[in-house]
Amino acid sequence: MPRAPEIAPAGPVDAAELAALETSLARGATRERLLEILLEVRDAKGGRGISEKGLRHLADRLRLFPAEAYEVATAFPAVNYGASEPYATEACGDLACALRHGTTSGRGVCRNHCDGPRQAPEPRSFAAYRAAGGYGVLDALRDDPDAPARILELIATHHAVGRAGVGFPVAEKWRQVMAAAGTPVIIVNVDEGELAIFKDRFILESDPHGVLEAALVAGRVTGADAIFLYVRDDYAPIHAILRQAMSDVVAAGLTEGIAIELRRSGGAFICGEETALIASLEGRPARPSERPPFPTERGYLGRPTVLHNAETYFRLRAAWGAAPDPAVPVSGLLDPQAAVFSVSGRVRAPGPKLAHGLARLEDLVELAGGMAAGARLGGMVVAGSSGTLVAAADCRRPLADLLAEGLRLGTRGIIVFGADDDKRAIAARMAAYLARESCGQCGPCRVGTAKAAHVLAAPEPLDMSILGDLSTVMGEASLCALGRNAGRFLGGLSSSLAPSNP
């Protein structure tokens, strides 16, 4: 029997890359840090990703098969594996950029900077937050053994729910974690991988301690010993803001017994699914896993895990008495009637818009400074890449009616398009985004999103029966919400792409 050919040794690693690897490994040589190590090496190389030789060296140091490290390096765009060019930061060519800047292609992927250039953030300091009564609830949790149960009951009475689109009760999630075996872990999701969403960035740029306080409360109430802040790699200003805030709370003795760590994401939309996010934190490719068991029972490294996005934590403080402060505009979210929308596209002043009791979707255009010069309202993409194309006439109807008819706001992303924009082309870009971001683990999503993108972008007349079949298969058979929501998006196109009067 002939012998299999031997794989040639990779050879020595470039000295500068090797130094970057060893510097990063000195901070923690564990598989769980694999993605962070890859990003740190990319940073040290001026945005150029780790080389094949470097990846083999890293796999050896972490006692992984090269294929295991390769899977992770190639699963996340931000790693920029093997690239000779720096990780791109220009306009991406995804839908919001295409509408606002006229770009049709781009080397990068959506960076959620869809509101354009902004002033440097001026976050509320630790001293100012403390002076306003911040972190006082932690004193009660430390001194009163009955405080955890009381706080949990306040959260339940407040009807606090997750703000990632599903609306699951926060108190119920915490109770599940507390009933599970093992020491809990707390995760703050600031990945915001959805198309043209930037509300969590807005919150953290303004009031980072509002999120940290609630995460620490979650840790104290559930008995957790670790908090991970999982932050989008592209949010560099947020990294600096959070590192300073974390340093302040540690120095003040507020984290005793709880390790708190910032980890960067790798630019994969699939990490909006909580089990995929947890997989990336464990140093594995971001792929969803079947549920049950749910993360509240077996999450990070098999431990019970609480995972909410930044908005959920920020708003949670209203349950124990935090109130809006006129000097801190983002604190208006402590009002249960308030909502923050990420508005982009063909408007004069895109950005996060705080609304109280929004009557009509069209009112968001006024909040965003009106339509861009020369544009008339054609409609809106509501709820991101797998959302709904809402016609202009419906944008003028009462929002309550649209919600009663089944419209989903999701994480409240709004992309405004003009009357002259081609709605089929918009749908094609959305489908292409979903096809690119599918993790490829299950056939219905992997094949269905690619097929939908091809059908929508083809020059032939649109065959709605194909989209209907794809919608059914993806909606019923996909492993996670990306595929199921993509199926729902395709199912809604029969009405969305019908001619309408703006």
- Confidence (pLDDT) at 89: 58
Among 79, 99, 134, the domain boundary falls at 79
Q: Determine the Cα–Cα distance for residues 39 and 58; give it in Å rounded to an integer.
A: 13
Residue with tokens 């839908």: 95
165 and 28 fall within a common domain:
no
- What is the residue-wise DSSP string for 254-315? TTTT-EEEEEE--S-GGGGSHHHHHHHHTTS------SSSPTTTS-GGGS-EEEEEHHHHHH
Q: Is residue 415 part of a domain?
A: yes
Indicate if the alpha-carbon torsion angle 75, 79, 81, 86 is positive or negative.
Answer: positive
258 and 386 fall within a common domain:
no
Which CATH number belongs to the domain containing residue 485 in this structure? Answer: 1.20.1440.230
349 and 327 fall within a common domain:
no
382 and 422 fall within a common domain:
yes
Among 332, 367, 392, the domain boundary falls at 332
Q: In which element (H, E) is residue 173 found?
A: helix 170-179
- Confidence (pLDDT) at 263: 97
Among 304, 332, 360, the domain boundary falls at 332
With H, G, I as helix, E, B as strand and everything else as coil, classify residue 319: helix
471 and 404 fall within a common domain:
yes
Q: Is residue 293 part of a domain?
A: yes
Q: Which of 433, 439, 438 is nearest to 453 (CA)?
A: 433
- Confidence (pLDDT) at 93: 67
Q: Determine the Cα–Cα distance for residues 430 and 432; give it in Å rounded to an integer.
A: 5
315 and 443 fall within a common domain:
no
Q: Which of 397, 334, 321, 326 is nearest to 360 (CA)?
A: 397
Confidence band (pLDDT; 50, 70, 90) for 12? confident
Residue 87 has pLDDT above 90, yes or no: no
The pair of three-digit structure tokens given for residue 254, joined into one six-digit string: 């507020």
Q: Is residue 93 part of a domain?
A: no
Residue 4, Ramachandran bin (φ over 0: left; ψ between -120 and 50: alpha; else beta): beta
Which CATH number belongs to the domain containing residue 264 in this structure? Answer: 3.40.50.11540
Confidence band (pLDDT; 50, 70, 90) for 8? very low
305 and 351 fall within a common domain:
no
267 and 354 fall within a common domain:
no
- Tens digit of pLDDT for each residue in 251-291? 999 999 999 999 999 989 999 999 999 999 999 999 999 88
The predicted model gives 109-137 an average pLDDT of: 87
467 and 394 fall within a common domain:
yes
Q: Is residue 340 part of a domain?
A: no
Instruction: Give the domain range for residue 53.
Output: 15-79
The predicted model gives 96-102 an average pLDDT of: 77
Q: Is residue 120 part of a domain?
A: no
324 and 349 fall within a common domain:
no
Residue 185 has pLDDT above 70, yes or no: yes
Residue 169 has pLDDT above 90, yes or no: yes
Total domains in the chain come to 3
361 and 413 fall within a common domain:
yes
Of 20-24, 90-94, 174-178, 337-341, minimum mean pLDDT range:
90-94
Residue 500 has pLDDT above 60, yes or no: no
Q: Determine the Cα–Cα distance for residues 393 and 105; give it in Å rounded to an integer.
A: 30
Q: Is residue 110 part of a domain?
A: no
The predicted model gives 452-468 an average pLDDT of: 93
Which pTM was predicted?
0.93
Q: Is residue 97 part of a domain?
A: no
- Confidence (pLDDT) at 90: 55
- Tens digit of pLDDT for each residue in 323-378? 999 999 999 999 999 999 999 999 999 999 999 989 999 999 999 999 999 999 99
Confidence band (pLDDT; 50, 70, 90) for 98? confident
The predicted model gives 369-394 an average pLDDT of: 95
Residue 6 has pLDDT above 50, yes or no: no
Strand partners, 381: 389, 415
Confidence band (pLDDT; 50, 70, 90) for 117? confident
Of 89-98, 189-198, 303-312, 384-393, minimum mean pLDDT range:
89-98
Characterize 460-480 residue by residue with b for buried, 16 or more Cβ atoms within 10 angstroms of its Cβ, and e for exposed.
Answer: eebeeeebeebbebbbeebbb
195 and 301 fall within a common domain:
yes
- In percent, how much of the chain has pLDDT > 70? 93
Residue 188 has pLDDT above 80, yes or no: yes
38 touches 73 (CB < 8 A): yes
481 or 38, greater pLDDT? 38
Q: What is the mean pLDDT of the chain?
A: 91
286 touches 270 (CB < 8 A): yes
The dihedrals phi and psi of 90, each to the nearest 5 degrees, come to -80, 180
Q: Is residue 255 part of a domain?
A: yes
Residue 7 has pLDDT above 70, yes or no: no
Q: Which of 497, 495, 445 is nearest to 471 (CA)?
A: 445
Confidence band (pLDDT; 50, 70, 90) for 34? very high
